[in-house]
Structure 1
Amino acid sequence: MNKPISITSFASISALGSNPNTIWSNYLLPQHFLSKKNNAWVAQLSLEDKKKIEKIRLSDNKYKNLDETVLYALLVARKAVQEAGWNGNDNFGINIGSSRGATSLFEKYHKEFLEKGISSTLSSPTTTLGNISSWIAHDLQSNGPEISHSITCSTGLHSLLNGVAWLQSGLTDKFLVGASEASLTDFTIAQMQALKVYSNEKDEIPCKAFDLEKKKNTMVLGEGAATFCLEAGAKEDAIAKIEGIGYATEILEHNTSVSTNADCFQKSMKMALGNYSPDEIDAVIMHAPGTIKGDISEVNAIKNVFCNKLPFLTTNKWKLGHTFGASGLLSLELAVLMLQHQQAIEVPFAKPQEHPKKLSKILVNAVGFGGNAVSVLVTK
Structure 2
Amino acid sequence: MKPRRVVITGIGAITPLGNSVEEYWNNLEKGVSGAAPITKFDASKFKTQFACEVKGFDAKEYIDRKELRKMDLVSQYGVAVAKQAIDDSNLDLESVDRNRFGVIWGSGIGGLKSFQDEVTSFANGDGTPRFNPFFIPKMIPDLIPGHISMTWGLKGPNFTTVSACASATNAMVDAFNYIRFGISDLFVTGGSEAAVCEAGIGGFNALRALSTRNDSPSSASRPFDATRDGFVLGEGAGAFIFEEYEHAKARGAKIYAEVIGGGMTADAYHMTAPHPEGEGSSRVMAEAIKDAGITPEDVDYINVHGTSTPLGDIGEVNAIKKVFGESAYNVSISSTKSMTGHLLGAAGAVEALACLMSIERGVIPPTINFETPDENLDSKLDCTFNEAKKRDVNIALSNTFGFGGHNFSVIFKKVTD
TM-score range with shorter-chain normalisation? over 0.9
Which piece of structure 1 moves more, 356-365 or 346-355? Answer: 346-355
Structure 1 residues 173-205: Cα deviation after superposition (integer angstroms, max 9, x where no partner): 111112110110011111111111211223474
Take 1:169 and 1:110, find their aligned partners in 2: how far apart are those partners?
Answer: 43
- 1:248 aligned onto 2:269: no
CA contact (8 A) 2:107 2:167 kept: yes
Question: Which residue, 78, 82, 87 being the options, matches 1:82?
Answer: 87
Cα displacement (A) at 1:210: 2.5
- 1:129 aligned onto 2:141: yes
Question: Quick one: percent identity of the two aligned structures?
Answer: 22
Question: Which residue, 385, 394, 408 being the options, matches 1:360?
Answer: 394
Take 2:221 and 2:146, find their aligned partners in 1: how far apart are those partners?
Answer: 37
Cα displacement (A) at 1:230: 0.4
Structure 1 residues 141-192: Cα deviation after superposition (integer angstroms, max 9, x where no partner): 2222211231100000111111112102212111111211011001111111
- 1:45 aligned onto 2:38: no
Question: Which residue, 95, 105, 111 being the options, matches 1:102?
Answer: 111
What RMSD in Å do the two structures reach over aligned CA positions? 1.9
2:14 counterpart residue number: 13
Take 1:207 and 1:87, find their aligned partners in 2: how far apart are those partners?
Answer: 44
The verdict on how the C-alpha distance between 1:262 and 1:356 changes in structure 2, with shifts beyond 3 A counting, is: farther
CA contact (8 A) 1:88 1:142 kept: no
Take 2:65 and 2:218, find their aligned partners in 1: how far apart are those partners?
Answer: 40
The verdict on how the C-alpha distance between 1:130 and 1:87 changes in structure 2, with shifts beyond 3 A counting, is: farther
CA contact (8 A) 1:196 1:217 kept: no
- 1:70 aligned onto 2:75: yes
2:223 counterpart residue number: 210
SS of structure 2 residue aligned to 1:124: helix
- 1:263 aligned onto 2:297: no
1:115 counterpart residue number: 124
Which piece of structure 1 moves more, 341-350 or 82-91? Answer: 82-91
Question: Which residue, 281, 288, 311 being the options, matches 1:293?
Answer: 311
Cα displacement (A) at 1:330: 0.7
Amino acid at match of 1:312: S
Cα displacement (A) at 1:25: 1.5
Structure 1 residues 215-240: Cα deviation after superposition (integer angstroms, max 9, x where no partner): x5231001101111001236443110
2:376 counterpart residue number: none
2:373 counterpart residue number: none
| Unaligned ranges ≥5, structure 1 | none
CA contact (8 A) 1:248 1:374 kept: yes
1:277 counterpart residue number: 295
Cα displacement (A) at 1:63: 2.3
Take 2:61 and 2:10, find their aligned partners in 1: how far apart are those partners?
Answer: 23
Amino acid at match of 1:112: S
2:240 counterpart residue number: 228
CA contact (8 A) 2:113 2:199 kept: no
TM-score (norm 2): 0.85
1:376 counterpart residue number: 410
The verdict on how the C-alpha distance between 1:115 and 1:181 changes in structure 2, with shifts beyond 3 A counting, is: same
Amino acid at match of 2:295: S
- 1:331 aligned onto 2:331: no
